[in-house]
Structure 1
Amino acid sequence: MPRHSQRPRSLIGGALRGAGLALDEQKDASTARMPIDEEDTAKSRAQRRKTARSAAGPVGGRPPKRGVNINSLARPANQAHGRNKSLGAHTIGAVQDVAPQTNVVETLRGFLQSRWDAANCLLNLENMQDDPILAAANIRPPGAPGAHRDIGTAIWKLSGDMFPSMITLSLAGNGLSTLQPLSSLAQYLPKLANLSLERNELRWARDLDVLASKKHGLDALQELVLISNPMQQNAVDAGNEDGYRRDVLAKFPGLRILDMKPVSSVEHGFSQLFRGRASKKAGPEAAQVPLRNFPLQTKPGFIDGDAAQVVPEFLSLFFARYDQDRALLAPVYSEHALFSLSLNSSPPPRARAQRLMHTMPHQKELVLDRYIALGSRNILRSHTAKALLRTLHQGSRAIVAFQQRLPHTTHPLHDASKFVVDAWVLPNVDVQAQTSATEKPDALLFISVHGEFSEAPSQGLRSFDRVFIVAPTAPDSQAAQHGWPCLIVSDTLTIRHYSSSAAWAPDTLPTGPVTGPNVAPDAPAAGPLPAYLQSQEPFPNISPEQHTLALQLAAQTRLLYPMAVQCLADNAWDPARALANFSALQASHAIPATAFVPT
């Protein structure tokens, strides 16, 4: 009786390798385990191995690996088993990875052809799990549970061969939680300019590293859409969309449009700044950070009249003891006081442009490792409640113990120009702060300090921001006995790269009209429409006013009418903003020629 292997055979794996669409790293189960007939059963084990070696090659070696060739479209598994009327493991009820009579490669070709939009050079692979062609063949798309590991490579290889003019690919709505199925995308589609990953399940910016590798990265990519992925949605909900965009642009510095919003020159400069950290050319030349005029001039620090005596006394005493012996700070924190440390690792653009990190001594010796190890309560970068609670310190003893673990510092208290202070009275009815279990003051002081300190052992300079909320001290309290004029109920310390006191010095910023590519020019003026637009039918679901705006923009820019509609829709139907963004993109040659009316 014929004897069949009990291992399920990967029909799709055999088909892809047979067509040269999958790496032949190891033989598939459908070809590695062939049925053994009664004559083979009578042979000894050594004889069967000798027969197998002879079949493999004239000297018993493995068959040579086949090159990548998609012209051989017949599936070897079907050919081998067609004569015996057997599908191996499929005849005993194993789960099939494709329908038994499927020609996998021809099915993929038909599927891709059905999704191709030649007019827009677009391959629309949205919601592949719902595609009837793939469903009928029981082929699971890339990223779907149970999908074959080589199915993505096969699709990208076929796409590159079938559609050499492709510049746009949409993979929206495919439930992708990892981009590993796209690891070979750049290898077969190196000219891809526009990619949509909208409505997937990508959670972290690092998930994009698969597409941003130095060896096989999407170097030609100009537009990327990540809307409705957790990474984008969480950043927007937390008010950190700028940080999210900066992280993405650092991986794809050539992007001109991200999430349907043009990339500004400032964003582009930041992306270069982050990429330039490991570069010898780091600095303004590499970052190209544009410095803008400010609409208003900076003013001196402001201290409420009622706090004018308390604030200087408190700050000079606090920073002196913070530098000398932090154990002396214990009396100034109330028993319910809160303290948190936050790190801002982004160098300010003006400090970067002035090359402060490169021209000042000891700056390169400063590292953030110790602060990071102790825990930073940067709310925009903390994603769990546990992490937020762990980095919030409560009570005098816990706060002082934590601060004693921070690097030693020296604040330049002899030079008032190194600090700027704002302070005002804050009614406690809004804060509800308590200095003890039974005491709740009527009013508090809000004190904001910006300044600098040198850090041991390198003696490099850092800038800091510190916000105190303080309450009056009771005459018989421990704080009053140690000379403190007030009691701290909240203390927030932010440490960042050095930016010099010029950042807040009065009347030192360049002011005047704010100019640059982000400033919208006047809206396009209405005028006679060209002949090719006079009979243009309006797009569905837009108002007559929007249709008129689209016609005017198309006439002024020579954009195709659908492109003009999209441009306005992406800019909230603001014609001035749409024209400004169009001009910026056109100046950077980011708009393909196919978007314009042929000349």
Structure 2
Amino acid sequence: MPVSHSGPSDPLSIRGAARPTLAGRLRRKDGEPNMLPKQSTVDAWRKLVNKRYDPNTRFLNLESVIDDEIVKKHSLTPPGYGGDSRTAAVIFKLAGQLKPEVQTLSLANNNLSGMHLIYLDRYLPKLRNLSLQGNALKTWRDLDPVGARRDKMKHLRELVLVGTPLRDMEYKNGRGDRYRGEIARRFLALEVLDSEAITQIGFTNDSGPGPTPVVPKPSATTFPFEMGPSFITGVDGVLVSSFLFRFFQLFDTQRGGLLDVYDPQANFSYCCNTNIPARARIENLHNTLPNQRKLLWDLWLNNSGGGSRNLNRPQVSVDKMVEVLHTGPAKIVTAQTALPETKHDVQGAMHKFVVDAFPVPHGQGNALLLTLHGEFMEVRSQGLRSFDRSFILLPAAEGSRAKLAGWDVVILSDQLTIRGYSNSNAWKAGPLLVQAEDKSKSAQKSVEFSVSSLPLIQQQALNTLPEAQKNLALQICAQTRLNVNYAVECLNGNAWDLERATANFEQSLSPHPCLPSISHYTPGHLYSILFKIYTYKHIAAKVSLITPYHPFPKLDYLLLEWHAKVVGEE
């Protein structure tokens, strides 16, 4: 089916997207014009795409485009033969306009590299079968434009890479299994690779889906088991604490001193999770802590030691994964020395850390698995980061370097995860609240208690709000005793986040460090202060914050803060 004609503002014909390159112009005969009009070039590519599309099979055959008569007639410059990614984008967009949608595309034998495939997923996102046979794909990086992220080519079922330098090199070096595994990792929905089926791991249910049972809503407000403190068993706790104190002291001040504690066959790697944790986002830690905005990830992600080894990032190649898995004390210490300087307060603030240690099978005996969660300060920025670190430890043999250096254990494996800061309340010992139930229930009860006490005019104001915002405003009124107008203002200022709004309101009522206690004021003084507040209209307006049924919440702090402002203006 022909493609509709592009209008004058179509992206295909702007910014020289299909403009022939210098190499293409040099290929023309003498006497020909130096450059075809942009729209003429686009029209020529449109003719080629239409001619090569079979709508019955939904197959677009763009193999060996350089040999096509239309290319020769119009002196076009195909991608791979002088044409760049913009030319490829023109072709892919034209293909994306075909009806019915293209399901199978062959780009075989076009001398394409990775840069020519950048726009393929944008214009043909639902492609099911793709042949890149005989193209100039030399490294794994050439596949990044179509298979670097999980949301790219997610409908692709068959891929052909036969005749590419990448595939030929992998098989030549006996890495066929690795090649197939890497392709399967990049294209999660792939079923056929190079005309051979890929093993799929899944679960089947021959009986078919049955009716979904009705599960009663849980009524518990806490989990049946409490959050416990650090868990150490099968080993003397003194050994664990001594190891951690000494290890982090050296890690913070002299990382080269850790050379002796690593086993000759030890492994070390680290990865970074750059996302701000949900808990920290709710508590607004990134904005309230003084130095969090100074934190940078640059030296964590990439440094002279190789950088982060995050296996959840598909764009990381297998070669990179192997490179940043450090084996042996010398390589481990070199990699750790390349990391930014840190400071772990393991002696002064142990409540900010939690430790689990217990024996695990290792060979013919046991090893000790030690896992630590906590925080550290990054020295260069003075900002805080959270971390998780897992060690596998073995007893230090008599006469070994570790034993001679005073270590009771050697490290066999060391894995470190650095992540955005989130405070230690996550592992605070005590009941584990069912968060989705606890706060909403208590808030709902307080709303039901107070809504009937609101004046009629405020109830009318509530009725002008959407239902979701109305419920939040009611909860703010119940918890803070603000009237409806100021409850809405409070929520607006906190992006309608109930927890943030409540927390910021409470913080605004905290005592000023320079103000005396209420005990320093007589009742007469307090009423005098209140009278002054009323005389200053721009300050007195704040009195209307308070709903009639609770006129002076936290009188100790509220009046004193207002008094400080009044005195400052007298």
TM-score by length of 2: 0.48
